[in-house]
Amino acid sequence: MNKWYMNPGEQDDIVISTRIRLARNLDDFLFPSKLDAATKTQIGGIIKDALDGCEPALNFTDMSALSHLQAVSLAERHIISPEFTVQAEGTGLLLSEDESVSIMLCEEDHIRLQVMKPGLDLDGAYEEADSIDNKVDGKVNYAFDDGIGYLTSSPSNLGTAMRASVFLHLPALTENGRISDLANTVSKLGLSISGVYGKRSSPIGDIYQISNRLTLGITEQTAISNLQSIVMQLIAQEKTSAQRLLEDTAGQDRVFRALGILKNARVLGGTEFMQLISLVRCGVAGGLIDIPIEKINTLIIEMQPATLSVTNSSIETVAQRDIARAEAVRNSLSQ
């Protein structure tokens, strides 16, 4: 079955994906950090039962049964949080076949439900998350306060307990250095922006996640609509900058050389791959290169180190992984 990220979406020349994440807790239990493994397992069972017959169907995975590589691969694909790769006993994962819907069971909260959509689709993602949330809500008692809203383990999520995120590819705004100014502006508007891959101080691949920070005293709809309007402005600014970059022969040269290397290299490290695919994605978005953007997005997800290793059992060393990455990229881009 196709994964969710293999499909096109709105504004997908610049917006890679949209994510809605809801945190929920059951009223009858302490927060997960205070629970033993058996109780966590019990809670997981309650939630699994509550979602029986859910559309899409969610498959259960006992986190402690996974290899570390499999867990890291889930985090690379943003299906679980990096913290959840520790795989404490009793924690679990519910995941739809296309990987668009996932629920971490007994991570920081009892329920961490997320819905991913390709391109910009905050309303669509929220609707689907809300409908799954309602299904559970009808069968369990949520920890909820009429004045505050949903109660969460961390005070920063109190209220809507919703984190809406948009993943943007902003190569031109990174190139011309405007991204740091924009991060400051966005921060003043109650949103946060950070690099998705690499270290926070030096993100690679020019992919950024922009999210709402406020959850208290604000409705989900207002938070989403604020985020949507900032994202539309970022898209417009990136397009203007990208046009300027790609009008220039030197800019075109960089984009096409990146394509030439990706289509021909025999060894491709993870960081170099991200730098080159970012240039190629910029060229695709700008109409210079004719490759479906979903194919680029798929490579960005599937060429991450642990994910590549999980899907290719012959990889045992970094050197083998870099050769396998080069081969997979070549095959994908030459089709």
Kindly state whether residue 291 participates in binding a copy of itself, applying the rule CB under 8 A: no
Kindly state whether residue 244 participates in binding a copy of itself, applying the rule CB under 8 A: no
H helix or E strand, kind and range, residue 164:
strand 162-169
Nearer to a copy of itself, 190 or 269 (CB): 269
Question: How many CB atoms sit inside 10 A of residue 219's CB?
Answer: 12
Q: What is the DSSP string of 45-92?
A: HHHHHHTTT-SS-EEEEEGGGS-HHHHHHHHHTTSS-GGGGG--TT-E
Nearer to a copy of itself, 111 or 265 (CB): 265
Nearer to a copy of itself, 65 or 250 (CB): 250
In the complex, what is the shortest distance from the CB of residue 328 to a copy of itself, in angstroms, rounded to a whole number?
A: 15
CA distance 78 to 107: 14
The CA angle 16-20-25, to the nearest 5 degrees, is 150
Question: Which range touches a copy of itself (CB under 8 A), out of 66-74, 179-187, 244-252, 302-310?
Answer: 244-252
**3-class DSSP state for residue 158?**
coil
CA distance 202 to 189: 23
Nearer to a copy of itself, 207 or 277 (CB): 277
ω into 56 cis (within 30 of 0): yes
Kindly state whether residue 326 participates in binding a copy of itself, applying the rule CB under 8 A: yes
Kindly state whether residue 299 participates in binding a copy of itself, applying the rule CB under 8 A: no
In the complex, what is the shortest distance from the CB of residue 240 to a copy of itself, in angstroms, rounded to a whole number?
A: 22
Nearer to a copy of itself, 38 or 267 (CB): 267
Nearer to a copy of itself, 11 or 252 (CB): 252
Which of these, 58, 131, 163, lies nearest to 100 by C-alpha position?
58
How many residues sit close enough to a copy of itself to count as binding (CB under 8 A)?
A: 17
Q: What is the DSSP string of 190-256?
A: TEEEEESSB-SSSBSTTEEEEEE---SSS-HHHHHHHHHHHHHHHHHHHHHHHHHHHHSHHHHHHHH
Q: Are 16 and 167 in contact (CB under 8 A)?
A: yes
Binding residues for a copy of itself restricted to 80-119, rule: CB under 8 A: none
Kindly state whether residue 233 participates in binding a copy of itself, applying the rule CB under 8 A: no
User: Residue 8 is encoded by which pair of tokens?
Assistant: 């096109």
In the complex, what is the shortest distance from the CB of residue 258 to a copy of itself, in angstroms, rounded to a whole number?
A: 8
Q: Single out the residue of 266, 316, 334, 335 in contact with a copy of itself (rule: CB under 8 A).
A: 266
Nearer to a copy of itself, 196 or 246 (CB): 246
Binding residues for a copy of itself restricted to 245-264, rule: CB under 8 A: 249-250, 252-253, 256-257, 259-264
Nearer to a copy of itself, 82 or 260 (CB): 260
Q: Are 277 and 333 in contact (CB under 8 A)?
A: no
In the complex, what is the shortest distance from the CB of residue 262 to a copy of itself, in angstroms, rounded to a whole number?
A: 8
Which of these, 57, 64, 93, 91, lies nearest to 78 by C-alpha position?
93
Residues near a copy of itself (CB under 8 A) are 249-250, 252-253, 256-257, 259-267, 323, 326
